[in-house]
A and B are shown apart, each in its own frame.
Chain A
């Protein structure tokens, strides 16, 4: 992290550049989602569009964290706390995933494959809605 007046003055240019970069990638995200010639994968929204949108968002988030939040030059304690937050967030994803392992509704598939497997449901709740029409 910049501490001397000279280093801070220099860092300001970097902050402005990163700001512009964030504007640019926001524009790219919108363009990919709305301009048909930039549509990836099949026609309309699909997995490819989701991946591209989230990859760009993750890249932008990294820029904010590394440059604006000074994670490029921090003490180990900060990295530890930040990693702790991420681990807990992934824990939340895992925890909510368990709601789809309800053995009453979906059969006792949790031991076999972790989460509910839509390919072999005990009841036919979701496969109906995923039918192609």
Chain B
């Protein structure tokens, strides 16, 4: 079948159908990205926390901008080559375009990987207001050991347990009202080394509704497994369902009774009358013999007590004696304080939130920061003190600059909030390189040496011995952790919108690669039979590719530079 108007223009639109189609598609794309950009705009304007401005390493973003611009030129060259019937040149230009697209995705991959493996913790402290200091860094994987880097395998059990909540458990109770325990049960059995390490504390029995006799569903001492829990849950749900029917029947009967005793026109308000309350009391007495009243939980004992580790996301709350999982399972025992703490190589100290909270509560930020829990660590304090020295020199520099330019009052140059209250990883390295001494003087003389853009290609590099020496190792007790996350959408709305927009853009790059790759690898036959049709197709694919470039032209300054 011949497809009409793929080469020649229609009279009514003046365009071939492919072009109308791609422009309609691009119009919808403008809307889509317009919505996302406006989402970013409003999230930023109304953010109630310090916005992570200029937080991404610039070099990968800059290289990707050059790469996409270059590919925009080569794709239009590829189209021109087809129009001039130069197949070989078309192949060369289109191949370069695809290589550029691939490079773009590789760089994006490096950038994403750096974010996924970089963690942050918001500290919660019992100060005059909650502390809210933020420390960034790596929770494990690379550590300095006698001057050499020790790499822990991400799957290594030792490294794995470093960000886990631990408890030496002697007893655990499953709530049968939440029949979704399977993954936790499997994990518990695996950690304990067998289901027979758990013994049911007391038989689980449910009354038979017909005979009134107790039917034992699980015998005392039964091991823990999902089949046994399913049996208990089945018994509980059966009993609950039976009791619901009994209660409904009694309620219906009570309602009839109250209406027949002269309250025919009474509405719901009758339930507050003494008469109704009396009827209810009588019904409750009568019901007792009919209800099954199945227990809503089963308890297992663990003897001897065993140490269990849980993903922090799985734990709802904990105390010295117990913790509760998301499925309402309660684990009792002795909370392992040391095993539940979080070791971290700190490559960023952010006290902007602390300062903001202090202002909100009418406290001097400097006082609040001085009492911050993280500054109790001598290594962190050393970095912070060095930063204060740098800040002193920086303020003097800005004052001089203001005088030179005749700026006074509100127009005078002042340090940004980030400069005041945040120490970046590259600043930490510069202080370490300066030996933490005479920072004020060295800053004035311009002698502080930060890592260059290549050294910090995707941010703090924990595989560099020199850098690791600059990153204080601290251990954060679990009760000091208000919130912890990698730099993923979970961390804050900036990263949520960053991953949404750049992820969607990355998908467009992949889509464009597939379409343009198809023309390159399977276009020869069409070129020989109808070269103009192929040229039109490449023009359409090229329009999409230019749009992908267009989106990045805005994304780069907005996400990386602002």
Contacts and interface: CB of A to CB of B under 8 A. Distances in A.
A97 B42 CA distance: 7
A44 B418 contact: yes
Nearest to A53: B557
Interface in A2-49: 2-3, 5, 8-9, 11-12, 15-16, 18-19, 22-23, 26, 29-30, 33-34, 42-45, 49
Nearest to A34: B58
Contact of B48 (A18, A84, A90, A126): A126
A54 B546 CA distance: 18
B359 A96 contact: no
A109 B58 CA distance: 41
Interface string A88-106: 1111110111011000000
A15 B546 CA distance: 12
A92 B34 contact: yes
B414 interface: yes
A112 interface: no
Interface string A45-66: 1000110011011001100110
A19 B27 contact: no
A75 B244 CA distance: 71
Contact of A81 (B27, B34, B58): B27
B561 interface: yes
A22 B549 CA distance: 11
Given A30-B58, A45-B416, A129-B356, A77 B84 contact: no
B31 A26 contact: no
A10 to B, nearest CB: 10
Contacts of A69: 543, 546-547
Given A8-B84, A15-B76, A81 B23 contact: yes
Contacts of A107: none
Most chain A CB atoms below 10 A, which of B23, B48, B62, B549 = B23
Given A33-B561, A81-B27, A61 B554 contact: yes
B416 A61 contact: no
B27 A82 contact: yes
Contacts of B76: 15, 68
Contacts of A5: 83-84
Given A44-B418, A82-B27, A88-B27, A96 B42 contact: yes
B40 to A, nearest CB: 10
Contacts of B470: none
Given A43-B398, A131-B360, A57 B553 contact: yes
Interface stretch (B63-71, B119-127, B204-212, B482-490): B63-71
B310 interface: no
Contact of B15 (A9, A57, A78, A96): A78
B546 A68 contact: yes
A34 B398 CA distance: 16
Interface residues of B, number: 69
Interface string B536-562: 000000110011011001101110011
A96 B42 CA distance: 8
Contact of A75 (B13, B28, B42, B553): B13
Contact of B35 (A9, A29, A86, A92): A92
A85 interface: yes
Given A49-B562, A68-B72, A89 B15 contact: no
Most chain B CB atoms below 10 A, which of A76, A93, A126 = A93
B419 to A, nearest CB: 7
B30 interface: yes
A75 B359 CA distance: 58
B77 interface: yes
B104 to A, nearest CB: 14
A11 B41 contact: no
Contact of B562 (A50, A61, A68, A89): A50
A37 to B, nearest CB: 10
B46 A45 contact: no
Nearest to B45: A100
A96 B34 CA distance: 11
Interface in B271-320: none
B193 interface: no
B150 interface: no
Contacts of B24: 81
B380 interface: no
B355 interface: yes
A131 to B, nearest CB: 5
Nearest to A36: B401
Contacts of B418: 44
Contacts of B398: 43
Contacts of B35: 89, 92, 95-96
Contact of B31 (A18, A33, A53, A89): A89
Contact of B41 (A44, A75, A93): A93
Contacts of A2: 80, 83
A128 interface: yes
Interface in B335-360: 355-356, 358-360
Contacts of B83: 2-3, 5, 8
A64 B549 CA distance: 8
Identify the 3 closest CB pairs spanning chains A and B, nearest first: A89-B34, A85-B30, A85-B27
Given A43-B414, A75-B9, A77-B15, 19 more contacts: A11-B80, A19-B73, A22-B72, A29-B561, A30-B561, A42-B414, A43-B415, A53-B557, A64-B549, A65-B546, A68-B542, A81-B26, A82-B26, A82-B30, A85-B27, A89-B31, A92-B34, A92-B35, A129-B48
5 contacts: A64-B72, A68-B549, A77-B14, A78-B15, A100-B46
